[in-house]
Structure formats: structure tokens, C-alpha cells
Amino acid sequence: MAESSASPRFGYGEDAHRLGDGLELWLGGVRIPSERGAVAHSDGDVVLHALSDALLSAFALGDIGAYFPDHDPRWKGLESGVILDLVLQRVHEKGYRPAQISAVVVLDKPRLGPYRESIQKNLARLLGLPEERVGLTFKTSEGLAPDHVQCRAMVYLEPLP
Ligand code: C5P
Ligand code: MG
């Protein structure tokens, strides 16, 4: 049976980076004051990476590693907003747009609560969504992964009007 073009889609993605002294910590396109940041080839923004994979996964388009190989010098220090933009283009080509996201950041330190609003605002801007459709929660790892920053993200997509 032919699939209805009007059916909604969902996608799930994850990312993790090791934390290193004196590096920048970027989450959802926002720089978070922190003694440690992501050890990464790009800016190491686990939120944008998990979201980008979730968006690709919704259409079985593989993952961001295929578009931005981490051995390619062109992508060194890459701002992850560029990755998300490219992925959103693919989503639009499929005739869809993100309608809601739900993301969890797992990080022991620093506390992220004070930055929730600015991260939500920036994600809403990047995705073209109202802030109330950008769910963002924080968890410590309870010491299970004190040297990592992780993100798990779900996205719900609707056909373009
Ligand atoms: O992981 P746990 O259940 O101990 O988290 C307790 C609270 O700490 C949660 O409300 C969460 O929003 C907050 N938190 C935070 N920044 C983190 C981790 C957790 O603000 N890096
Ligand atoms: Mg990453």
C-alpha cells in the first residue's frame, strides 16, 4: 500500500562527547560557562548533533557522520548550526518540518537550569518552532559519566502545509 504523504514522522538521536579542561561547552547553540568543554572535531554541541541525527533518522537518511565526516579538515571547529541547517534542508526537501522536540542533556557539572530558557529560545529560533514546543530537561549522570556530556533527543515532524 502506498504511504500517505500526510502521515507524521518521528526521529530519535543521541550524542556524547568527552569533557576536557579549558575547552568550550556549547549546548543548543549557546555557550555555557564551564571549566570543561567538549573534546570534539566540531564545536561538540551534543544537543545539535543529537537533534540533527533525530531529524535524519525520521527519513532513514543515515546520520550526520555521513554528511560531516570527522576526519574531513573542512569541518574542523565547525559550528553545529551549519549541520542542523543542512539537515533541515533535507527535511524540507522531503516535504516536512519539525513540529516538536524533546531533548535530555545528561551532565554532572555545571548546573544547566539557569541556561534552560536561553537554550530553548535558541533551539526554537533554529528550528522555527514556538518555545512551548521545545522540551528540554537536564539530568546528572549520578557520577556514572562525570567526564562526558550527553544528549538524547526526539523530534516529531509534520508535513509542510
Ligand atoms: O539528575 P538529577 O535528577 O539529580 O537532577 C536533579 C535536577 O538538577 C533536575 O531538576 C535538573 O534539571 C537539574 N540539573 C541541572 N543541570 C545539570 C543536571 C541536572 O540543572 N547539569
Ligand atoms: Mg557530537
pLDDT average, residue stretch 31-37 = 98
Give the class (CATH, top level) of 9-159.
alpha beta
Query: Ligand 1: does its nearest atom lie under 6 Å from the Cβ of 76?
Result: no
User: What is the average pLDDT score of the chain?
Assistant: 94
Distance (angstroms) between ligand 2 centre and the Cα of 4 equals 33
Query: Which of helix, strand or coil describes residue 157?
Result: strand
d(CA 95, CA 83): 19
- Nearest Cα neighbor of 53 from 25, 11, 24 is 11
Query: Ligand 1: does its nearest atom lie under 6 Å from the Cβ of 138?
Result: yes
Domain boundaries, the chain: 9-159
Neighbours of 35 (CB within 10 A): 11
47 near 123, Cβ under 8 Å?
yes
What pTM value is reported for the model?
Answer: 0.94
d(CA 85, CA 67): 12
Predicted local distance difference test score (pLDDT) of residue 66: 84
% of the chain surpassing 70 pLDDT: 97
- Nearest Cα neighbor of 56 from 8, 88, 101, 17 is 88
Residue nearest to atom 3 of ligand 1 (CA): 139
pLDDT average, residue stretch 1-8 = 66
Predicted local distance difference test score (pLDDT) of residue 79: 86
Predicted local distance difference test score (pLDDT) of residue 6: 75
Residue 106: C-alpha distances to residues 6, 25, 94, 142, 153 (Å): 34, 13, 31, 10, 11
Q: Band the pLDDT of 31: cuts 50, 70, 90.
A: very high
Give the CA count within 13 Å in the CB-facing half-sphere of 46: 25
- Identify the DSSP state of 131: G
How does pLDDT run across 66-102, given as a tens digit for each residue? 887 777 777 777 788 999 999 999 999 999 999 999 9
pLDDT average, residue stretch 124-135 = 98
Predicted local distance difference test score (pLDDT) of residue 67: 81
